[in-house]
A = this chain, B = another copy of it.
């Protein structure tokens, strides 16, 4: 009486064949082994019964669950939905189901969720929560679990990854500000335990260096997390220590939001009094006041590419690990202007 889906056996009975034959008839890979006429009978029976193969039974036998896990910090951060869509769209096209887990940046929780995913026998994992020094994933990777990192990566490891071009993105942002005439350019960095936070900060230093501008250490602060609140805290600290940049490069858009809050607190108008560039081009930052200039990263593509890469490795386990970097582009809106003289 409850959800009694028809089983393969029932289909077979209805078609008057053995369950083996039914199995073969319904599976494109083996259907050539069965007489075309029988195959049609079986398929008809399946259709009439609205037969759906039991994924768990199949998975148990084949030891492939046709599902992959995705580990995110937090789905609620607008950065991630596009990535997830990219992943889901390509995975679904190959018959895979996506399992999403939110770690909330909690290592304990992450470990639990990761275990749950493994208990569900996911065929692979896509990870967006990597810390540079992570060992959990490296270990699982050794053990043969297929995975790919998105957005962030792990230091010196041969886990494949797909990321945006953090370095180039920041370089473009800094160059843009310099061209506008800025020299006192600050950076509100992201957590240094993430590859993104670290790479972007390094890119900032290097871009300054390339332009022959000496770094004022007081203009370099780092937020503890990629959040509006932490971004604000870091920016506030900088201003309170008396520093007066004419432009700020934020490590991401959330942090930029925090900067905007601090500007407002201090009655500085953006871009008149101070310029700001974000990173990621999250949805809706084009509708802020002012519309935020930021580095666009093709998140949907990143997700899609990561999924493709995972599929590839699922099909061919010992492919060499590669890292894909997708180009970033600077999108200029209204949060940057020449410095006041």
Residues of A near any B CB (own CB < 8 A): 1-5, 52-57, 59-60, 65, 67, 74-76, 78, 81-82, 84-85, 88, 97-102, 115-116, 118-121, 143-145, 257, 283-284, 287-289, 317
Contacts and interface: CB of A to CB of B under 8 A. Distances in A.
A43 to B, nearest CB: 16
A55 B121 contact: yes
B60 A56 contact: yes
Contacts of A257: 287
A121 to B, nearest CB: 6
A1 B121 CA distance: 15
A5 B140 CA distance: 11
B65 A56 contact: yes
Given A81-B76, A99-B99, A100-B100, A52 B118 contact: yes
Shortest 7 CB-CB distances between A and B: which pairs? A52-B119, A289-B289, A284-B284, A56-B59, A56-B56, A76-B81, A55-B120
29 contacts: A3-B143, A3-B144, A4-B144, A52-B118, A53-B119, A54-B60, A54-B121, A55-B120, A56-B60, A57-B60, A74-B85, A75-B81, A75-B84, A75-B85, A75-B88, A76-B81, A76-B82, A78-B283, A81-B81, A88-B100, A88-B101, A88-B102, A97-B99, A97-B116, A97-B120, A98-B99, A283-B284, A284-B284, A288-B288
Contacts of A143: 3
A61 to B, nearest CB: 9
Nearest to A95: B116
Nearest to A261: B287
Contacts of A75: 75, 81, 84-85, 88
Contacts of A81: 75-76, 78, 81
Contacts of A5: 118, 121
Nearest to A300: B76
